[in-house]
Structure 1
Amino acid sequence: MHTDTERCVRAVQSKDARFDGWFFTAVLTTRIYCRPSCPVVPPKVENMTFYPSAAACQQAGFRACKRCRPDTSPGSPEWNARADAVARAMRLIRDGVVDREGVPGLASRLGYSTRQIERQLLAELGAGPLALARAQRAQTARLLIETTGIPMAEVAFAAGFASIRTFNDTVREVFALAPGELRTRAARSRSTPPRTPGVIALRLPYRAPLNPSNLFGHLAATGVPGVEEWRDGAYRRTLSLPYGHGIVALTPHPDHIACRLFLTDPRDLTIAISRCRWMLDLDADPVAVDDQLRTDPLLAPLVDKAPGRRVPRTVDAAEFAVRAVLGQQVSTAAARTHAARLVTAHGQAIDDPEGGLTHLFPSSAALAALDPQALALPRSRRTTLTTLVGALADGSLRLGLDSDWGEARAQLIALPGFGPWTVEVIAMRALGDPDAFLPGDLGMRRAAADLGLPSTPAALTERAAAWRPWRAYAVQYLWATDDHPINHLPA
């Protein structure tokens, strides 16, 4: 979008927050870059230039605006709606892969050479993987500086910097303030919440509108006891992370999601934020989605009644695949019971000082060692589960942000006991494919019949061609017609 100068200028002059994260405005006279909705008086058109990423702005010598804080804007929705190499690379960079594995590790996950990945990212985003990761490190550092009392030396290494000097230089260059000045300014701000030792409190932005009912309702209603809970108006769950583990509490608000993170190792902050944003689908563009779905006269009333529905996802694709198998042909309550038994038997126990969470969901390696006879499941379901966890444990099946959606579907459907429903629900909620579709789902067929849509899978799929590439969101609107707990915020 940054190449459409006229459209970008209109968005800046109208301060349209819908375009935050789509592009960034750099001002040639002040050498500052902003988000489109920046509250200051818009600069003259001849002084504006536009970039596709904050990293490209920083690489060009611009520093972040202190008013609109463009480095904290929602991510571009393109990286969630696409499955090409650039989109997958951006999802992995956002997940901290470059900091943990370097550019060679990023390229290896995507099946390309380092040079190819660098060339593709530079061509589309104006910055290579190192610059993109550097911009993310700067944002992580700012969060730790402003929301915790961690010493600066620890902040530097927790944010992923190789040295304190690099940390200091980057913060000064990006924010035009020294790390100590950032902390002092945050302490003077009235909006800064009181700090709780060991807890990082922050706000997760999103593009409005956002309907929290099906999003948090689904996560709470299907939550696994011990791993997830709804407490005091917040969805809470445990997180398995590269350097340790964590607990997150997410509370919906009209203009943001309040996030409270407890981490055993602050180096996991970047990936924890990334996974929470992914789980809540916060980088979606609800206006584009809803406008497309409104073109169907039978769907339009549902969209108009409660716009901004998101797709509830997961923090761990392998975990969700296991839970999808446990949920085959059983009720939501039965699926939770089966999952809770696995967690109690094979999950790592943790302490939760603020609630009732007790375990991490077991890893694929831990589940690969389980005794199938101990599972209270039909024999065919036991075979399906053990085959799945075996493939996940030995690496022959990889599910995650770097998955090619088509290839993952082909691998899943080849496993015993995997039918179209299981494959598509994994594609939708674990892999994030916005066009995943469940025409054979009972709730979908019932809702379609009530609305006057075709209720047979083949006919419904044909009608849904006009909803592409947002069929996964259409599923959320159709599911919401049923008075099921997944469609309501818990009391």
Structure 2
Amino acid sequence: MTLDPAACYKAVAARDRRFDGWFFVGVSSTGIYCRPVCAVKTPRFENCTFYSSAAAAEKAGYRPCLKCRPELAPGVARFDAARELADAAAAMIDDGFLNGADLPGLASRIGVTERHLRRIFAAEFGVSPVEYAQTQRLLLAKRLLTDTALPVTDVALAAGFGSVRRFNGLFKTRYGFAPGRLRAHAAPAADEGGLVFQLAYRPPLAWDALLDFLGHRAIEGVERRDGDVYCRTLRIELAAGEAVTGWCRVAQLPQRHALQVTMPPQLARVVPQVLGKLRHLFDLGARPDVIDAHLGPLAAAKPGLRVPGAVDGLEIAVRAIVGQQVTVQGARRVLGRLTERFGTPLAEPVEGLTHTFPDAAALANATIDALCGAGLIRTRAAAIQAVAAALLDGTLRLDPLAPLEATTAALLAIKGIGPWTAQYIAMRALGSPDALPAGDLVLRQHLRLKDEREVAAHAAQWAPWRAYAALHLWREAAALAQGEPKA
């Protein structure tokens, strides 16, 4: 990514949060690299060099700032299609993909050759994928050392290092001091049985709207809203069919422009995956300044509105199928029964969280009669089974890196899934910012248009952010009618 030094320096001098995570500044007089929002005295321009990634700054010999902590910078969601593949690879590395796989496997997953991946990755981030992964492991280890009381051995393994010796050596070589130096700053919350992390976002964030949406659709036993806090269960798939289950609690820290995530120690080995899923669920890579400006008056009532994503694509698909032509409350009842009968019980239930949402194997192997016993009609039960089976055999993926057009086409080929369902899944499971359930009854009635074609034509003005427009319209309709938006 090409950076304009003059423009970057202005952002640093202004501590402009819109650029947090988009670049890092290395300061030659200190040997430190910082986020553009760092609160220290602004360095002189001639001492600054700007990098598109933390890995590039570290490759140039800079150490991470202990005050602004580059590992806490928000993720980046870019809009240039030419960069999508490199961003997809980086997202998978951030989520720990290379901890259990190799570079050819990563290239295969995003659909390119290893050579092409190396080329586009270096052009975008200034380093190789392996160098990028190494920096992400070190930054995660730094985060665990600072924010938790996990033993150093557990920190090394959780961050993806094969041995403590390798971790200690690389940490000291790269940062100039031993990992134990950070141990004195471990978070007190870690001693109370929880691991605590922060996920930064670019303000504004309409946290109340996110909680309204998620809380209104909360599945009993899986998730709940407790005032200004969201809690839910998680199931993280590992290699060879192994899975780790647990829970998380998420609250807003508005003064820090961050979300605080608490999770139990048993999730330490899958911290990157958990944080990646939560970034997607809360749409933390969004650029509200860009989106709200494009939507104009539509976004004025609720700036910073995000499109709630997913921690599990199958869960969103089942929600969408169950929610066809029924109220939100009716769908919640069915989803709760499905969870109770086919979900995985937590070893230690906490605060009303008792089960993880059913996985693909559980739903694919259930009988149609058993699914119908939870309140489904046969066509919807069959559609859910078809989606689960396709996920199991690898013919379907429901995650932010799945190809949009091919995935929606595969969904539409399943009996019982129409355009509304496919677009809703694209909005939330695939994270498509321009997905639009144009056939939605609430959207049509609120816009006073007669059919799906007219809704699509009217919504063209909001492209490529039509998913955000749909969320704003649903909120407007609910406020005016005091009713329930669909799904």
The TM-score normalised by the length of structure 1 is: 0.91
Q: CA deviation at 1:232?
A: 5.1
The verdict on how the C-alpha distance between 1:395 and 1:331 changes in structure 2, with shifts beyond 3 A counting, is same
Which residue pairs with 1:75 in the alignment? 75
| Partner SS, residue 58 of structure 1 | helix
Which residue pairs with 1:198 in the alignment? 193
Choose which of 343, 349, 358 in structure 2 pairs with 1:347.
343
Compare 7-16 and 380-389 and name the one that shifted more. Answer: 380-389
Query: Equivalents in 1 of 2:97, 2:226: separation in Å?
Result: 32
Which residue pairs with 1:259 in the alignment? 261
Which residue pairs with 2:59 in the alignment? 59
The verdict on how the C-alpha distance between 1:94 and 1:431 changes in structure 2, with shifts beyond 3 A counting, is same
Q: Answer yes or no: is 1:473 the counterpart of 2:468.
A: yes
Q: What amino acid sits opposite 1:441 in the alignment? A: D
Query: Equivalents in 1 of 2:69, 2:450: separation in Å?
Result: 48
Which residue pairs with 1:26 in the alignment? 26
Which residue pairs with 1:285 in the alignment? 287
Query: Equivalents in 1 of 2:25, 2:417: separation in Å?
Result: 47
Q: Answer yes or no: is 1:273 the counterpart of 2:275.
A: yes
Q: How many pairs does the alignment contain?
A: 472
Which residue pairs with 1:422 in the alignment? 421
Which residue pairs with 2:301 in the alignment? 305
The verdict on how the C-alpha distance between 1:486 and 1:75 changes in structure 2, with shifts beyond 3 A counting, is farther
Q: What amino acid sits opposite 1:270 in the alignment? A: P
Q: Please give the residue correspondences for 1:230-269 in structure 2 after superposition, counting only pairs within 5 Å.
A: 230-231=225-226, 233-241=228-236, 242=238, 243-254=243-254, 255-269=257-271
Which residue pairs with 1:297 in the alignment? none
Which residue pairs with 1:377 in the alignment? 376
Query: Equivalents in 2 of 1:475, 1:177: separation in Å?
Result: 50
Q: CA deviation at 1:179?
A: 1.3
| Partner SS, residue 275 of structure 2 | helix
Query: Equivalents in 1 of 2:126, 2:191: separation in Å?
Result: 39
The verdict on how the C-alpha distance between 1:273 and 1:81 changes in structure 2, with shifts beyond 3 A counting, is farther
Q: Please give the residue correspondences for 1:310-349 in structure 2 after superposition, counting only pairs within 5 Å.
A: 310-349=306-345
Per-residue deviation, residues 407-444 of structure 1 (Å, max 9, x unmatched)? 11111111111111101100000010111112221222
Q: What amino acid sits opposite 1:372 in the alignment? A: I
Query: Equivalents in 2 of 1:42, 1:169: separation in Å?
Result: 32
The verdict on how the C-alpha distance between 1:168 and 1:19 changes in structure 2, with shifts beyond 3 A counting, is same
Which residue pairs with 1:444 in the alignment? 443
Q: Is the 8 A contact 2:9 2:45 kept in 1?
A: yes
Identity value in percent: 39
Query: Equivalents in 1 of 2:167, 2:418: separation in Å?
Result: 50
Query: Equivalents in 2 of 1:448, 1:361: separation in Å?
Result: 35
Unpaired runs of at least 5, structure 1: 295-299
Which residue pairs with 2:431 in the alignment? 432
Query: Equivalents in 1 of 2:282, 2:215: separation in Å?
Result: 12
Which residue pairs with 1:224 in the alignment? 219
Q: What amino acid sits opposite 1:141 in the alignment? A: A
Query: Equivalents in 1 of 2:335, 2:145: separation in Å?
Result: 38
| Partner SS, residue 359 of structure 1 | strand
Per-residue deviation, residues 120-152 of structure 1 (Å, max 9, x unmatched)? 111111122212222221222123212322211
Query: Equivalents in 2 of 1:123, 1:182: separation in Å?
Result: 33
Q: Is the 8 A contact 1:263 1:269 kept in 2?
A: no
Q: Please give the residue correspondences for 1:100-119 in structure 2 after superposition, counting only pairs within 5 Å.
A: 100-119=100-119
Q: What amino acid sits opposite 1:231 in the alignment? A: D
Q: CA deviation at 1:66?
A: 1.8
Which of 1 and 2 has higher RCO (CA within 8 Å, sep 6+)?
1
Compare 73-82 and 284-293 and name the one that shifted more. Answer: 73-82
Query: Equivalents in 1 of 2:82, 2:470: separation in Å?
Result: 19
Unpaired runs of at least 5, structure 2: none
Choose which of 204, 207, 213 in structure 2 pairs with 1:209.
204
Q: Is the 8 A contact 1:218 1:486 kept in 2?
A: no
Q: What is the aligned-residue RMSD (CA, Å)?
A: 2.1
Q: CA deviation at 1:193?
A: 4.3
Q: CA deviation at 1:359?
A: 0.8
Q: What amino acid sits opposite 1:434 in the alignment? A: P
Q: CA deviation at 1:486?
A: 7.7
